[in-house]
């Protein structure tokens, strides 16, 4: 590369690769227009329809829409009993919400190294980070590549830990014939760039153990 080219930002050379490029067509525009024309922009029937369709798609007993990915992770950690003084082992290679969700419950996020190939949380590194204060594991399915959930299940089983999956980037991802975030207690699917499904903003929280959704304070947020 010539020196003058090296000095130019990539975007100016026309070589920028977008992290996400949502596909929006007539069907999406018609759906949005229908909601706008209804005059009901919150707590409308579309939320319930979406929750049921989403749960069916990933095979979850229940899914609930909340306002953001951060809120979904926060509620999920609360649901599994994470509280003050606890530790949550998670990935340092993620959006800050993966760690902040633990802080909101006055718990401590503990970062373990990632696999250099998959960029997901390394199960062996996570195992080394587990202490007597550890309450939960929070693996992240980065860029749609599923984490090694079988290994995390074994780790959780040995230590009696809960698992909350940050599956914001993994909707549709399948590993060992199972969808990402369909094997454990709670999964968080944020719906905004760079996530695979765009609905403006918000999250779907999947519940796997029969938890009463009302106990978490989860309520629909948009039409």
* pLDDT value of position 219: 43
pLDDT at 199 over 70: no
- For residue 1, is it within any domain? no
- For residue 31, is it within any domain? no
* pLDDT value of position 110: 98
- For residue 146, is it within any domain? yes
Q: Among candidates 155, 157, 149, which has minimal Cα distance to 183?
A: 149
pLDDT bucket at 1, cuts 50 / 70 / 90:
very low
Distance CA 164, CA 140 (A): 9
| More confident site: 199 or 117 | 117
- For residue 186, is it within any domain? yes
Where residue 117 falls (left for φ over 0; alpha for ψ -120 to 50; beta otherwise) is: alpha
pLDDT at 195 over 50: no
Residue found under tokens 């991802």 = 173
pTM above 0.85, yes or no: no
pLDDT at 15 over 80: no
* pLDDT value of position 70: 85
Q: What is the pLDDT averaged over residues 206-217? A: 51
| More confident site: 46 or 88 | 88
Q: What is the pLDDT of residues 168-185, one digit of tens each?
A: 887 777 766 555 554 334
- For residue 14, is it within any domain? no
| More confident site: 145 or 59 | 145
Q: What is the pLDDT of residues 68-118, one digit of tens each?
A: 788 888 888 988 899 999 999 999 999 898 999 999 999 999 999 999 999
* pLDDT value of position 79: 85
| More confident site: 76 or 200 | 76
pLDDT at 193 over 60: no
Q: How many domains does the chain have?
A: 1
Three-state secondary structure along the chain?
A: CCHHHHHCCHHHHCCCCCCCCCCCCHHHHHHHHHHHHHCCCCCCHHHHHHHHHHHHHHCCCEEEEECCHHHHHHHHHHHCCCCCCCEEEECCCCCCHHHHHHHHCCCEEEECCECCCCCCECHHHHHHHCCCCEEEEECECHHHCCCCHHHHHHHHHHHCCEEEEECCCCCCCEECCEECCCCCCEEEEECCCCCCCCCCCCEEEEECCCCCHHHHCCCCCCC
* pLDDT value of position 86: 98
- For residue 60, is it within any domain? yes
pLDDT bucket at 191, cuts 50 / 70 / 90:
very low
- For residue 221, is it within any domain? no
Give the domain CATH number at 200: 3.40.640.10
* pLDDT value of position 173: 74
Domain hosting residue 68, numbered range: 42-216
- For residue 23, is it within any domain? no
């Amino acid at each position: 590369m010539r020196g003058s080219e090296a000095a130019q930002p990539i975007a100016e050379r026309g070589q920028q690769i977008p992290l996400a490029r949502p596909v929006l067509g007539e069907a999406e525009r018609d759906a949005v227009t229908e909601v706008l024309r209804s005059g009901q922009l919150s707590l409308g029937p579309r939320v319930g329809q979406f929750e049921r369709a989403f749960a069916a798609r990933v095979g979850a007993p229940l899914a609930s829409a909340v306002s953001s990915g951060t809120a979904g992770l926060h509620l999920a950690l609360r649901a599994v009993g994470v509280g003050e003084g606890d530790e949550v082992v998670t990935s340092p290679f993620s959006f800050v919400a993966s760690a902040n969700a633990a802080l909101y419950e006055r718990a401590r996020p503990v970062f373990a190294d990632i696999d250099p190939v998959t960029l997901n949380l390394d199960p062996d590194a996570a195992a080394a980070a587990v202490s007597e204060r550890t309450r939960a594991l929070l693996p992240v399915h980065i860029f749609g590549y599923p984490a090694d959930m079988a290994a995390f299940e074994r780790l959780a089983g040995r230590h009696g830990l809960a698992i909350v999956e940050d599956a914001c980037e993994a909707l549709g991802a399948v590993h060992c014939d199972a969808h990402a975030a369909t094997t454990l207690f709670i999964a968080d699917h944020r719906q905004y760039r760079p996530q695979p499904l765009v609905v403006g903003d918000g999250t779907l929280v999947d519940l796997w153990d029969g938890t009463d959704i009302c106990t978490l304070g989860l309520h629909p947020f948009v039409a």
